[in-house]
Amino acid sequence: MDKLRPLGRGVEDVLLPTFAAYAQYLIAKESEIKSTRRETHKYGPTARHQLDIYYPEKPPTAPFRAKPVLVFLYGGGFVSGNKVNEEFAHSLVFRNLGHFFASKYGITVIVADYRLVSHGAKYPSGGEDVKLVVDWVVNTLSKKEGYESIDLFLLGNSAGGIHVSTWLLSPVFKESREAILSEERKGAGVLLRGAILLGVPYHWGKEDNAILRTYLGEGKIWENCSLGILEKEKKKGAQPTLPGVKISLLVSELDPELIFDSAQQFRKEWTTVDISYAVLEGHNHISPQLGLSTGIEKEEAWGVDVAEFLKSCATK
């Protein structure tokens, strides 16, 4: 973390140097990280619809009564990303994230691949893929012994967070959301309890480039960004409500300024949910997920805070 500040805030500028800075710390924990049991499953119709699920060896820590399941969608600007980065640090990312929450807190972790622009992704395909993962949890995981009652949490980073927010906000996914919403648990089943949005641009200001036009649509960059969707729903008097769910907006101290500004605006505008905002001290746009399972307290502090947030959301 101490090497991050001189790198600046630009995502492209910090990307490779940040990965390089963390490699040695992750490799030092390789045997521990790879000790967590991992299975791969298909969750949708295309070859890209694959997820890894990380199983804890121990039961979840208090106060969880239902089985906590955390779904993580990584970033990559709509054009890159894999559930395991085979080109970096002995393929430990994002196995380190799965291991961290599974081994420390007894949380079952799902890391899902989703369609990128190279797979033909176009808005709202990211939200569709989130829906498919949720469907898999409901229709497959919840049928597994010990998973009959699930408290579900979503963690979306950057582009992955855009897809999570699309699913949370768009009327296209209203039926999918409402199927797993309730203020109280009344038996078995899957209930959404929390969503964490990490380093997410909720709009792009005046930015207009080929990638945004390809994914969000020509002339629809604002309309299909998270704030644009929310604005449209508010005008219709249909601002989404999420009973029983808490939302956490996380921004890294060294994130681009646009992410700070848009997160604060998003928090202000979404008035019908229990929503909080926090800044990850010392981190940049890339570093939070790389710091998990390094065994370094200040690198993992945000993960500890996320676990505490999940506990605060859990079915009592």
How large is the average pLDDT for residues 309-314? 96
pLDDT given for residue 186 in this prediction:
85
- Report angle CA 123, 128, 131 to the nearest 5 degrees: 150
pLDDT given for residue 2 in this prediction:
77
Does the predicted TM-score (pTM) go above 0.85? Answer: yes
- The string of pLDDT tens digits covering residues 96-127 is 999 999 999 999 999 999 999 999 999 999 99
pLDDT given for residue 224 in this prediction:
98
Cα(52)–Cα(72) distance, integer angstroms: 10
pLDDT given for residue 87 in this prediction:
87
Identify whether the C-beta of residue 283 lies closer than 8 Å to the C-beta of residue 4. Answer: yes
How large is the average pLDDT for residues 227-248? 96
DSSP assignment, residue 1? -
- The string of pLDDT tens digits covering residues 262-292 is 999 999 999 999 999 999 999 999 999 999 9
pLDDT given for residue 132 in this prediction:
98
| Helix 159-169 × helix 226-235 angle, to 10° | 10
**pLDDT bracket for residue 187 (50, 70, 90):** confident
How large is the average pLDDT for residues 164-193? 95
At residue 316, does pLDDT exceed 80?
A: no
How large is the average pLDDT for residues 56-79? 94
When the candidates are 3.40.720.10, 1.10.10.10, 3.10.20.30, 3.40.50.1820, the CATH number that belongs to 5-313 is 3.40.50.1820
**pLDDT bracket for residue 4 (50, 70, 90):** very high
**Which two structure tokens, joined as six digits, stand for 312?**
């605060």
* H-assigned helices in 111-225: 125-139, 159-169, 174-178, 210-216
Give CA 50 to chain center in angstroms. 16
- The string of pLDDT tens digits covering residues 136-147 is 999 999 999 999
Output the CA torsion sign for 79, 84, 87, 88. positive
Cα(137)–Cα(150) distance, integer angstroms: 9
- The string of pLDDT tens digits covering residues 23-46 is 999 999 999 999 999 999 999 999
pLDDT given for residue 278 in this prediction:
98
Cα(51)–Cα(37) distance, integer angstroms: 14
Give exposure, 66-75, as e/b (b: 16+ Cβ within 10 Å). Answer: bbbbbbbbbb
**pLDDT bracket for residue 62 (50, 70, 90):** confident
Cα(77)–Cα(11) distance, integer angstroms: 10
250 Cβ neighbours under 8 A, 6+ residues apart: 196, 197, 198, 199, 278, 279, 280, 288, 302, 306
At residue 1, does pLDDT exceed 90?
A: no
Nearest to 26 by CA among 98, 87, 102, 96: 96
At residue 63, does pLDDT exceed 90?
A: no
How large is the average pLDDT for residues 235-252? 96
Q: Which residue has the tokens 């990307």?
A: 15
**pLDDT bracket for residue 227 (50, 70, 90):** very high
At residue 130, does pLDDT exceed 90?
A: yes
